[in-house]
Amino acid sequence: MSDPVVSAGFSFQAKDRSEAFQFYFHQHWVRLVWPFLRLILWNVLIAGTGLTMVFGGTFDEPRTRHTILIILTTFFLLAHFEFLARFYHYLLYVIVVTDKRIHRIKKTLLTMDDQESTDLWVLQDIHKRQHGIIQNILGYGSLILQAQDTEVRIHFTPAINKRYAALTRLREQARVFVSRLEESFRKSRTP
Amino acid sequence: MIVRMGILTPLLSWCLLILVIEIAFWGLFRRKIMQICLPIHGDAIFFHFFTVWRLRLFAIVHTVALILCVIIGHLLLWP
């Protein structure tokens, strides 16, 4: 893969040099189901109208046909570009987990460029929520990360059991690391 | 044939519009995704499939499909 973006390794915005990448994930694919269904519905509607025009012989006047053709093409393209934008937005929402932090990167094509980084060792509680049949069958749900002042909610987390276990393990490792640092700092200060 | 010649201007306009929007979307998307960086080797979850190269291919296929649909639609429905 010669693409510079891919070959750049696991670097991402605001990554600290000392951080070691662990894993990343997007939201569950179920997030795209409704936009995809809507796209199919629009296509069926537009194709149906087009076929009615061809075989029904309802609109024979050229000017009417031109107008209807413009309207149909406009709606067809709007439906497709709306889905494409949603698909790109979906890919631009990434959770990157390193050994020290959780980075929530949320961007849109034009209007949004957010990043929220939470230290793993400050997390007091990590909750996992899976409500409903679909969430349990497809194995996704919400992760709620609680720190002293903040609460980070990560909805539509795929393979939530695996992510939950990994986050809990990484938090313990980060706490051990920080406590060791504090201890060595304390020792160095005592005469 | 004279009637069919009239189809060229709207068809070319639609194709140009599709190309411009697709290129604009891809440019914006690529600019943003550059900062995130999708890894190519990871644990085998579904979305590691979408590398930048494959997404570029997807954008090209999507553009061609849209242009084809618009051409077929116009050829069928043009009076």
For chain B, say whether A34 makes contact (Cβ under 8 Å): no
Domain ranges of chain B: 1-77
- Look at the alpha carbons of A49, A52, A53, A58 in this order and tell me if their dihedral is positive or negative: negative
Residue A160 to residues A32, A65, A176, Cα–Cα distance (Å): 18, 52, 24
pLDDT, tens only, A32-55: 999 999 999 999 999 998 888 777
pLDDT at residue A4, as a whole number: 36
pLDDT, tens only, B22-74: 999 999 988 888 777 555 444 433 355 667 777 888 999 999 999 999 999 88
Of B10, B37, B53, the CB nearest to A8: B37
Q: Cβ(B78)–Cβ(A65) under 8 Å?
A: yes
CA–CA gap between residue A160 and residue A141 (Å, rounded): 6
Pairing of strands A125-129, A113-119: unpaired
Question: Are B39 and A24 within 8 A, CB to CB?
Answer: yes
Taking contacts as CB-CB distances below 8 angstroms, the residues of chain B near A94 are 36
Angle CA A71–A75–A76, to nearest 5 = 115
A–B interface: beta-carbon pairs under 8 A: 110
Taking contacts as CB-CB distances below 8 angstroms, the residues of chain B near A77 are 14, 17-18, 21, 66, 70
Burial class for A96, CB neighbours closer than 10 Å (0-12, 13-18, 19+): buried
CA–CA gap between residue A145 and residue A132 (Å, rounded): 21
Residue among A127, A182, A90 at smallest CA distance from B50: A90
- In the chain, the amino acid numbered A131 is H
The ipTM, to two decimals, is: 0.82
